[in-house]
């Protein structure tokens, strides 16, 4: 993407409250959407193709399957991994419920693994003891835009003939040791839901690591039929040999995506630079613990997470001065719908009791960031 856009600076307006998340909307987005609406074609078409190509070039992977949500991308990835009734997926409870629900949708059971308390993410060491003959996949979250330590996880997965499903909903544009998340791996799922780095209103993308998975994923997103391979045929009179989802993206969403990709470098730099400044400042506050982040990675800091003993007091103090703060995701193993055994997860318990997130995106300028830091210096114990 062109670096000329890096100087773009939308008006933040008279901000009295600092939200945890905020929709980025380019000035030309309304014109592009209006053009699509008036074109007479709003289903998946040319705009989705343009958006898909932009993602492919940006990530460095030609095997991009655009879908209507990250949840759909995850469901397809799990299905292609062999997840189904009677099987298991090793997962983390510290994620959005949408990360684990596709496992249940397919009739499988999540098996909760503990985390590394310095990152909040799974490791090969916490995963390996849980692998059984019923295990089909490993779910990995790149938490709040920090890449997981995936090298050893993939090594373990390959040795046990398992697939890895990466949830990169928070990590569009993140890099692991110089490589974009999504440029390699079995399945990598991105989200373009309203409050992500870029948005299509709602939407997502599944990036595949092999041509065969790519071929099957394109069929799985649309009733078991590959839309791109129809070539004018009446496919409904042909055999459909496996079921699929109604999970395609439409051109309205694609138009929004195309408009936003022009600004992706600028958007990510705002998140990243704010996150790095928080790292430095919060690490100097007694009583606060910053997460361990690999200096060789490029983190996207979708929500800036740190750990404190007096979380309730910290969140209340920020909220009282108009700053949104919270624990972004409630742990999933509290929900009975998953039907999974509530295991002893001491590191997860410890992390879950201390985790708090503060605003970190393009709408947080130096003054807003100083305002947040001044509150933290006063209230953290």
Closest CA to 139 of 66, 73, 52: 73
Cβ(80)–Cβ(136) under 8 Å? no
Distance CA 206, CA 210 (A): 12
> Looking at residues 81-95, what average pLDDT do you find?
98
Do 39 and 146 belong to one domain? yes
Q: Is 4 a domain residue?
A: no
Per-residue pLDDT at 9: 52
User: What value does the CA radius of gyration of the chain take, rounded to a whole number of Å?
Assistant: 21
Residue 14: CB partners within 8 Å, gap ≥ 6?
none
Per-residue pLDDT at 10: 53
Closest CA to 158 of 184, 194, 120: 184
Domain containing residue 351: CATH number: 3.90.1150.10
Q: Which of 236, 261, 286 is the last residue of a domain?
A: 261
The conformation of residue 68, written as its DSSP 8-state character, comes to S
User: pLDDT tens for residues 98-121?
Assistant: 999 999 999 999 999 999 999 999
User: pLDDT tens for residues 173-183?
Assistant: 999 999 999 99
Query: Could you tell me the CA-to-CA distances from 306 to 55, 294, 312, 323, 338 in Å, in that order?
Result: 30, 15, 13, 16, 28
Distance CA 138, CA 92 (A): 9
Q: Is 17 a domain residue?
A: no
Do 335 and 224 belong to one domain? no
Per-residue pLDDT at 214: 98
Distance CA 106, CA 95 (A): 18
Q: Is 155 a domain residue?
A: yes
Q: State both tokens at 311.
A: 């979380």
Domain containing residue 100: CATH number: 3.40.640.10
Structure-token match 């947080």, residue found: 364
Distance CA 269, CA 301 (A): 10
Phi/psi-derived region of residue 331, left when phi > 0, alpha when psi is between -120 and 50, beta in every other case: beta
Query: In a 10 Å sphere around its CB, with 0-12 CB exposed, 13-18 middle and 19+ buried, how is residue 269 labelled?
Result: middle
> Looking at residues 254-282, what average pLDDT do you find?
98
φ, ψ (nearest 5 deg) of residue 198:
-125, 155
At residue 6 the predicted structure's pLDDT band, cuts being 50, 70 and 90, is: very low
Do 177 and 296 belong to one domain? no
Per-residue pLDDT at 2: 39
Q: Is 5 a domain residue?
A: no
Do 170 and 294 belong to one domain? no
At residue 16 the predicted structure's pLDDT band, cuts being 50, 70 and 90, is: low
Structure-token match 């509290």, residue found: 334
Distance CA 330, CA 115 (A): 15
Per-residue pLDDT at 141: 98
Pairing status of strand 163-167 against strand 187-191: parallel
Distance CA 226, CA 219 (A): 4
Mean of the per-residue pLDDT values of the chain: 94
Domain total of the chain:
2
Residue 374 pLDDT greater than 70, yes or no: yes
Query: Which domain range does residue 298 map to?
Result: 264-379
Q: Which of 208, 243, 261 is the last residue of a domain?
A: 261
């Amino acid at each position: 993407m062109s670096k000329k856009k890096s100087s773009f600076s939308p008006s933040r307006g008279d901000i009295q409250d600092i939200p945890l998340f905020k929709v980025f909307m380019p000035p030309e987005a309304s014109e592009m959407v209006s053009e699509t609406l008036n074109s007479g074609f709003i289903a998946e078409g040319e705009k989705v193709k343009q958006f898909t190509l932009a993602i492919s070039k940006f990530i460095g992977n030609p095997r991009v399957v655009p879908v209507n949500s990250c949840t759909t991308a995850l469901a397809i990835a799990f299905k292609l991994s062999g997840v189904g009734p009677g099987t298991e997926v090793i997962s983390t409870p510290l994620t959005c419920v949408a990360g684990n629900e596709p496992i249940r949708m397919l009739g499988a059971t999540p098996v909760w693994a503990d985390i590394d308390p310095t990152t909040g993410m799974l490791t090969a060491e916490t995963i390996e003891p849980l692998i059984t003959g019923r295990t089909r996949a490993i779910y990995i979250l790149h938490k709040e835009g920090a890449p997981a330590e995936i090298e050893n996880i993939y090594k373990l997965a390959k040795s046990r003939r398992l697939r890895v499903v990466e949830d990169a909903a928070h990590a569009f544009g993140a890099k692991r040791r110089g490589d974009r998340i999504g440029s390699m791996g079995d399945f990598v799922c991105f989200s373009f839901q309203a409050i992500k780095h870029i948005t299509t209103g709602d939407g997502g993308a599944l990036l595949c690591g092999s041509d065969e998975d790519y071929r099957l994923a394109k069929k799985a997103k649309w009733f078991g039929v590959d839309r791109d391979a129809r070539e004018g045929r009446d496919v409904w009179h042909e055999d459909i040999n496996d079921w699929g989802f109604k999970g395609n993206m439409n051109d309205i969403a694609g138009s929004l995506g195309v408009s936003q990709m022009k600004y992706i470098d600028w958007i990510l730099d705002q998140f990243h630079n704010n996150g790095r400044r928080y790292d430095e400042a919060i690490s100097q506050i007694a009583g606060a613990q910053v997460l361990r982040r690999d200096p060789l990675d490029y983190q996207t800091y979708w929500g800036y997470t740190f750990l404190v003993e007096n979380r309730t007091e910290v969140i209340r103090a920020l909220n009282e001065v108009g700053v949104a703060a919270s624990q972004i995701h409630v742990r999933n193993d509290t929900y009975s719908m998953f039907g999974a055994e509530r295991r002893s997860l001491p590191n997860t318990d410890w992390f879950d009791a201390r985790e708090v997130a503060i605003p970190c995106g393009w709408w947080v300028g130096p003054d807003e960031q100083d305002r947040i830091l001044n509150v933290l210096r006063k209230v953290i114990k």
